[in-house]
Amino acid sequence: MFRQISSPAGSALEINFEGKAVRAYAGETVAAALLRHNQMKFRNADANNSRGPYCMMGTCFECLVQIDGTPNQQACQAIVHDGMTIERQSAPLTGPIIPNPSEQGDN
């Protein structure tokens, strides 16, 4: 079990993991926010083989999740924002490689 040792630096906000609301703190990574709730399984490498964060510094690419509809995001690098939606993903990747242009803001 992960334990909060001292109070987190950022203000509280809410993210959504696999359909459930989860508390997170501004400025922290998606991986840290999920591990705080002891969610350790982030993706499936194959049917019997799941993976979670390993290096926490963007090197190993084990913690890939789908964030706000975009797959293959490194949970240990992505910073949480209020209302962020996170889902587990399976490899080979699912979902669109190029995001739908209508969802892309002013790019």
Partner 1 sequence: MQKRHFHLAVIGAGPAGLSAALAATKAGLEVILLDDQPDVGGQVYRQLTRNCKMKQPYLGQSYFSGRNMVDEMQHFSGVYAPRTTVWQITAERDIAIVVDGKAEMLSADYILIATGAIERPMPVTGWTMPGVMSVGGAQTLLKTSALGAENAVFVGSGPLLYLTIWQYLQAGLPVRAVLDITRPAQWRSVIAYAPLTLFQPKLLISGWKWLREIRRQCAFIPHVSSVDIIGTAHATGIRYETEHGAKGEFTSDHIFLHQGVMPNINLTMATGLHHRWNDHAHYWQPVVDQNGQSSDPHIYVAGDGGGIGGAAAAALAGTNAARAIIAKLKPETGISLPGGLLSQLCRWRAKAIRPFLDRLYLPPADMRLPQRDDTVVCRCENVRKADIDAALSNAVTGPNQLKAFCRAGMGRCQGRSCGIMVQEMIAAHHKQSLSQTGYYRLRPPVKPLTLAELASLNGPWPV
Q: Which is nearer to partner 1, 1 or 21 (CB)?
A: 1
Q: In the complex, what is the shortest distance from the CB of residue 62 to partner 1, in angstroms, rounded to a whole number?
A: 6
Residue 24 burial by Cβ neighbours in a 10 Å radius (0-12, 13-18, 19+): buried
Question: Who's near 57: CB < 8 A, 6+ residues apart?
Answer: 76
Residues in the chain, overall count: 107
Q: Which is nearer to partner 1, 61 or 83 (CB)?
A: 61
Interface residue list for partner 1 (CB under 8 A): 1-9, 25, 27-29, 32-33, 35-36, 40-42, 45-46, 49-62, 64, 72, 76-77, 79, 97-99, 107
